[in-house]
Amino acid sequence: MKPDVRATRMRLRLRRTAAGILVSVVGCGVSPSVNILGSFFPAWLISIIVGIVLTVVVRRVLVAIDVAAYLEPAVLVYPCLVGLLSFAAWLVVFGS
């Protein structure tokens, strides 16, 4: 392979990598943040915490009405419930 062809390919690869990095970093500037006592937390973190707390509440309700025993496999049900409630909290609180 000729040196000029190799250099051209290297420059093209470098440009593509730089463009990919720039395109992927653009979305980081508009992430919603929540001010809690002077510290800014990302909104997705707040939504996940709300989803976990709501899942614990729902599980306690299901145990109280004797339905939790029928939800199998629990290892799959409760993480899916966390995801569902986290997305719902995101839409309710931060949706426009």
Same domain, 10 and 37: no
Which range marks the domain in which residue 9 is found?
Answer: 1-29
Cα-flanking dihedrals φ and ψ of residue 72, to 5°? Answer: -125, 145
The total domain count for the chain is 2
* 31-47 pLDDT, tens digit each: 677 777 777 778 888 89
pLDDT in tens, 49-65: 999 999 999 999 999 99
Q: What is the mean pLDDT of residues 22-26?
A: 69
The model's confidence at residue 87, banded by pLDDT at 50, 70 and 90, is very high
Rounding to the nearest 10 degrees, give the CA dihedral for residues 81, 87, 90, 93.
-60
Q: Are residues 53 and 67 in the same domain?
A: yes
Backbone angle region of 66, left / alpha / beta, with phi > 0 → left and psi within -120 to 50 → alpha: left
Q: What is the mean pLDDT of residues 7-26?
A: 80
76 and 39, same structural domain?
yes
Same domain, 37 and 79: yes
Domain identity same for 63 and 96: yes
